[in-house]
Amino acid sequence: MKLCIAGDSGLLGQALVQETLRNNANEVMGVSSSAFSGNRFWPPLKGAYTHQKIDTLRDWPLFEELIREYRPDALINCVALVDLAYCERNPQAAQAMHVELPGRLARLCSLEGIDFIQISSDQVFDGTQTRPYGEEDKPNPVNVYGKTKLEGEAASAGRLVVRPNLVGFRDHPDEKTFAEWLCDALYRREAITLFEDYVTSAMHVFDLSRCILELQKKKAKGIYHVATRDAASKYVFGEKMAQALGLDFSQVKKGRMKDQSFYPVRPSYLALDVSRAENFLSHRLPTVDDTIVCLRDQFQLRMKEKQNA
């Protein structure tokens, strides 16, 4: 299989590259606006991987020509502006990235006979529900990020759209993921606050990647929630993480999102119902505890590598 991943330098993009290349018969071309080295992947890549430094919006003619020459079997769009505050201050940039780009990619893939997968977000919901959100529940985004991601789903109509919640290690020198921040803080016994009312179905990015690739292989179409089959608050998630690592949790304070003033407004309850994906794939999706185990193993491996360096 030949795969193109738009946004291969991000958390999900990196994981998709690695999961695809676990099978040496596969070939991946990654594209992002930043220079990116496959040397950052861990464990090291074994298959055929190339990276192209292209801004998919500004350099659209070049990107379009590249896709026609490469002719992938599938294109997965992971490109996103994940800074919610930036999106709120720059709605036109969010519109271009989350709506215009998916629309262009969907049309190009349709013309070239390429499977297209759009990565959306659980932020399309307002968080007011008290049961996990299913695909049939009406979206009601409360910020620019969520609104533009929802519009991006419409621009990708008729294709595979995945709404995830993900965690993992990106190993970026300047930007830590939530998992990296949490594990580092627990290891260093830093005083931090985790919210007891912020609930998500956080799936490890490697598990998420495998599910996305499986959905693509089985030619799924429409919207699918891909996350853990259960949910946990950030406080409970942190407590489970500390237990798995054998670290002290007493320095962690319990807080509430509703007591904070966030810019922009953020939904606090984002548990996802994944039964549609489970039924289509004919197997159960991982649990929050499975996510914790994956993060524990990754963190311990990285600590061991640092000690041996």
Q: Give the tokens for residue 107.
A: 């049309």
Banded pLDDT at 172 (limits 50, 70, 90): confident
Mean pLDDT in residue range 278-303: 96
**Domain-located, residue 242:** no
> What percentage of the chain reaches a pLDDT higher than 90?
86
Structural domain of residue 289, as residue ranges? 2-234+258-308
Does the residue 197 lie in any domain?
yes
Q: How many domains does the chain have?
A: 1
For residue 46, what are the contacts with CB-CB under 8 A and spacing of at least 6?
A: 21, 22, 24
- Quick check: is 244 in a domain? no
- The CATH number linked to 279 is 3.40.50.720
Do the domain assignments include residue 41? yes
Per-residue pLDDT of 15-46, as tens digits, reads: 999 999 887 778 999 999 987 655 555 555 66
Q: Cα(255)–Cα(265) distance, rounded to whole angstroms?
A: 17
- pLDDT of 174: 76
Tell me the pTM.
0.95
Residue 250 domain flag: no
User: Is residue 173 pLDDT above 90, yes or no?
Assistant: no
Q: Is residue 16 part of a domain?
A: yes
pLDDT of 44 reads: 59
Q: Residue 249 domain-assigned?
A: no
In a domain? residue 240: no
